[in-house]
Amino acid sequence: MPVAAQVMQHASERPHRLAVRGPGGDLSYAELARKVDGAARHLSDRGLGRGALTAISLAEPVDLLTAVLAVDLVGATPLVCDHTWDRDQRARIMDAVAVDARVDAPLPAAAGAPPRSGALPTDRAWACFSSGSTGRPRAVVRTRASWTASFPHLSDLAGIGPDDVVLVPGPLVSSLYGFAAVHALATGATAVVPGRWPAASLAADLRRSTVVHLVPHRLPAVLEALGQSAGPLRTAVVGGAALDADRRALAVDAGVNVVSYYGASELSFVAVDADGSGLRPFPGVEVEVRAAAGQPLGEVWARSPWLAEGYLADATGPLRRDADGWMTVGDVAEPYRPGEVLRLRGRGDGAIQTGGATVVPEDVEEVLRRIPGVGDIVVVGSPHPHLGAVVTAILEAEGASPPPRAALEAAARGGLDAAQRPRRWYAVQSLPRTPAGKPARGLVAARLAVGDPGIRRLA
């Protein structure tokens, strides 16, 4: 069933229930349904229907959700874009991903008969750009079944129901936050969508919120604000990165249950930890960790109904699949057997968040590989207490010695933006590689994190 149809059903059953709260105001389910229905008729009048890829770029999160649901109602595929892209970025991305229509302003309402989509579970129902896509456009697309059929499982694990108020404190262009908002509406709950991190209004938002869906590094701020607001928050759904034990303990001390999960835009949910005992496969998911002979770590592969269809426009990315329906994005874990805890050791998607900027490792590697004496190179993020992460380069030298660090830094200044330039440089005799021969970024990051003596820092 399209999510929009579920919203219409909630509107008929509980019309006065608050559906969404955003910077532009509040909408009940009845009001949201009317806006979505009118916008869908407008899209239908423009000729949009089943399968049409529709790029949506709107700053106001309620307008964005209305457009997404309207596109969904006519059976088209919403492609959620970042409204902060400048003109050149937008042009480059839209040149790479051909769309049938664009929505750059709030959709007007049209009168007429309700649109009939004929939508099927196998239709494409959601597309969004993966982290760091502004450098290399890469949009992940999902079928309706892979997108919505996981909703009940998350509801059961987190205890989310129609009486909840779900705070979604981040941009809906992110697959994590976009999923959280749409899941809340499909459930009949209230979605609070500030559209960004609500530093000024966080305590006020928490006075009403029973659930928050966020990334790990935001959890301490939420717990601190909760102490000021004395709100009813009982559950934090945490994804996007590993959650450390100290942050979970802080939540438990505050009376907040944490449901943390591991996944990726391409894989959706892979594993979940609902009680602090460790990550175990999400319902419906099979997990394998495939390690090369003699290697202590391996790549995480998943097979499930929730896997994405792939990338739009045949874009390249970390997603790989085999003939038996298994997929991986190159994330790394310790050996795993069914029934055990999945112990992740590194992320394979590689996007680095540093000081508020997103750095795509491949963009940096492309420039640094041109430096004389560099045979190959891997770029990863290293933890930093203030910036979140710093760009770190690990190079495989062509000769006995790597190029001087001064030469490396000079080349970086000449070809990279400030946020992209490595702050730490290392050399290794031989980079670990995937079966296809590519450098295994996740394995390099894991070795660096444990202080592998074979990775030497350049002074």
User: What stretch of H or E contains 44?
Assistant: helix 29-45
**pLDDT for 282-301, tens place per residue?**
999 999 999 877 777 788 99
Q: Domain check: are 149 and 19 in the same one?
A: yes
Q: Domain check: are 286 and 375 in the same one?
A: no
Q: Domain check: are 29 and 142 in the same one?
A: yes
DSSP state of 296: S
CB 251 within 8 A of CB 211: no
Q: Given this model, what pLDDT does residue 350 score?
A: 66
Name the residue among 57, 143, 38, 40 with its Cα closest to residue 99: 57
Q: Helix, strand, or coil here: 443? A: helix
Query: Is residue 205 situated within a structural domain?
Result: no
Query: Is residue 210 situated within a structural domain?
Result: no
Backbone φ and ψ for 372, nearest 5 degrees, come out as: -55, 135
**pLDDT for 27-80, tens place per residue?**
999 999 999 999 999 999 999 999 999 999 999 999 999 999 999 999 999 999
CB under 8 Å, gap of 24 or more: what pairs does 109-114 form?
109/34, 109/35, 109/37, 109/38, 109/39, 109/41, 109/42, 110/38, 110/39, 110/41, 110/42, 110/44, 110/45, 111/38, 111/41, 112/41, 112/44, 112/45, 113/41, 114/37, 114/40, 114/41
Q: Domain check: are 278 and 187 in the same one?
A: no
pTM of structure: 0.80
- In sequence order, which residues have a C-beta less than 8 Å from that of residue 339 and are 6 or more positions away? none
pLDDT band at 437 (very low <50, low <70, confident <90, very high): low
Amino acid identity of residue 210, one-letter, is T
- The CATH number of the domain where 281 resides is what? 2.30.38.10
- Domain with 403, as residue range(s), is 352-457
Q: Considering its fold, how many domains does the chain have in total?
A: 3
Q: Domain check: are 342 and 372 in the same one?
A: no
Q: Answer with the one of 311, 329, 346 that is the final residue of a domain.
A: 346
Q: Domain check: are 356 and 319 in the same one?
A: no
Query: Is residue 95 situated within a structural domain?
Result: yes
Query: Please, what is the Cα angle at 42 between 125 and 57, to 5 degrees?
Result: 55
- How many whole angstroms separate alpha carbon 172 and alpha carbon 212? 14
Q: Domain check: are 332 and 387 in the same one?
A: no
- The CATH number of the domain where 439 resides is what? 3.30.300.30
Query: Is residue 121 situated within a structural domain?
Result: yes
CA neighbours within 13 Å on the CB side: how many for 20? 34
Q: Answer with the one of 196, 222, 250 that is the final residue of a domain.
A: 196
CB 127 within 8 A of CB 77: yes
* Residue 198: pLDDT over 90: yes
Backbone φ and ψ for 98, nearest 5 degrees, come out as: -70, 130
- If phi > 0 it is left, if psi is from -120 to 50 it is alpha, else beta; for residue 197 that is beta
Q: Answer with the one of 139, 163, 196 that is the final residue of a domain.
A: 196
User: Counting beta carbons within 10 angstroms of the beta carbon of residue 320, is it exposed (0 to 12), middle (13 to 18) or buried (19 or more)?
Assistant: middle
Q: Domain check: are 331 and 405 in the same one?
A: no
Query: Is residue 238 situated within a structural domain?
Result: no
Mean pLDDT of 190-215: 95
Q: Domain check: are 332 and 272 in the same one?
A: yes
Q: Helix, strand, or coil here: 358? A: strand
Q: Domain check: are 167 and 36 in the same one?
A: yes
Q: Domain check: are 184 and 47 in the same one?
A: yes
Q: Domain check: are 98 and 124 in the same one?
A: yes
Query: Is residue 166 situated within a structural domain?
Result: yes
Q: Given this model, what pLDDT does residue 328 score?
A: 94
**pLDDT for 248-290, tens place per residue?**
999 999 999 999 999 988 999 999 999 999 999 999 999 999 9
